[in-house]
């Protein structure tokens, strides 16, 4: 996959980078807080990790009872690479994205009881548990 990187604009501590892929464009922006974001379908996702596949984070609006204040919750997403569609981080979506990696499927089933556990971080190894399991599955 051939890609071309160009800096599009620098506006008051925000850098917008355009990555052109064969089928579509992907935009990354870096804010003054040194966090890097990917803009996909007009939504901004903070990039958490790019090892093997991308992990993203963003606040999402929860459904609220009538008359109550808007509630935001943390949502986690992933994509196979920088040019792939961003999907909600769920066990089913991971298995669909990596259909032939059966060791990864078995590791997910063995280590995670629900979708919320997928974002667990190992402070000793300094990596996301999911990423560790994925990398291990490639060595089998």
Per-residue pLDDT tens digits for 15-27: 444 444 444 455 5
Is 125 a member of any domain? yes
133 lies in which domain range?
90-140
Is 20 a member of any domain? no
Percentage of residues of the chain with pLDDT beyond 70: 71
Q: Give pLDDT tens digits for 31-71.
A: 677 788 898 998 889 999 999 999 999 987 666 666 777 77
Total number of domains constituting the chain: 1
Distance CA 90, CA 116 (A): 8
């Amino acid at each position: 996959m051939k890609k071309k990187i160009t800096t599009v604009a620098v506006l008051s501590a925000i850098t917008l980078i355009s990555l052109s892929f064969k089928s579509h464009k992907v935009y990354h922006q870096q804010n003054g807080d040194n966090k890097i974001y990917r803009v996909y379908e007009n939504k901004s996702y903070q990039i958490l990790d790019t090892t093997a596949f991308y992990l993203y984070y963003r606040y999402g609006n929860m459904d609220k009872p009538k008359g109550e204040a808007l509630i935001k919750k943390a949502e986690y997403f992933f994509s196979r690479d920088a040019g792939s569609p961003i999907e909600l981080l769920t066990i089913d979506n991971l298995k669909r994205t990596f259909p032939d990696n059966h060791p990864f499927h078995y590791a997910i089933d063995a280590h995670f009881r629900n979708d919320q556990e997928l974002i667990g971080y190992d402070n000793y190894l300094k990596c996301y548990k999911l990423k560790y399991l994925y990398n291990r599955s490639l060595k089998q």
